[in-house]
Amino acid sequence: MDDLVARIDAAFSERAHPGNSEITRCAYDRVNGGTMDGPCWECEEMADFFAGKSWRGVRAADLRRYGDSDALYTIKAYCYYLPAYLTAAIREPGDLDVCVDHLAYRFGPEPGDAWRDEHLARTVGELTPDERAATHAYFQFARTQDPKDFGGFIERALRNLAASDVREASSET
């Protein structure tokens, strides 16, 4: 377990904070095509909480309270805070609670879910090969913790991450 946490830490060690204005992207805000003048309270609260925070300083309870709506993150912010989710899911799964499931839903969406498929492609495209490998290793661990894998999300996450590495390798040749 400690080896996996160390691998995640090393893989994400070079990732830069996205910047305070790039933590959330509120779909309700007019600048993003919505009907409100400004972000909704949920996006605002989430952006305020994560502003200037290193992923290493965010606890499972914080992620559960302020980061449970992970779809509100920009892709860059999600990828930056991903190691906080991964390590909390290993060390504090009870405190992280539903966010553990969000990881599997993000990386292993059900077939035919166009929005989640596009979000997955953008997320995986943002991750470095080392970050993808560490995330894949997390899902291998998750499979041992949840052998029933309700809905097959973990298995799809593993396949999706492995397939992204195959696509990248073939595009480099």
Q: Would you tell me the crossing angle of helices 98-107 and 75-91 to the nearest 10 degrees?
A: 130
Higher pLDDT, 157 or 168: 157
Instruction: Please report the pLDDT score of residue 125 as a whole number.
Output: 95
Residue 108 vs residue 166, higher pLDDT: 108
Contact 99, 86 (CB under 8 A): no
User: Stretch 137-161: mean pLDDT, rounded?
Assistant: 92
Q: What mean pLDDT comes out for the span 117-142?
A: 95
Tokens at 64, concatenated: 């559960």
Is the pLDDT at 3 greater than 90, yes or no?
yes
- Report residue 97's pLDDT band, with 50, 70 and 90 as the boundaries: confident
Q: What is the pLDDT of residue 120?
A: 93
Please state the rounded mean pLDDT for residues 123-152. 93
pLDDT of residue 26: 83
Q: Tens digits of per-residue pLDDT, 29-77?
A: 888 788 888 888 998 999 999 999 999 999 999 998 888 788 889 999 9
Q: Are 65 and 58 in contact (CB under 8 A)?
A: no
Task: Write the single-letter amino acid at 165.
Answer: D
pLDDT of 173 reads 47
pLDDT of residue 34: 80
**In the chain, where are the structural domains located?**
2-172
* pTM assigned to the model: 0.90
8 A C-beta contact, residue 98 and residue 148: no
Flag the least confident range among 27-31, 108-112, 119-123, 132-136: 27-31
In this predicted structure, what is the pLDDT of residue 165? Answer: 60
User: What's the whole-number average pLDDT of the chain?
Assistant: 89
Q: Are 82 and 74 in contact (CB under 8 A)?
A: no
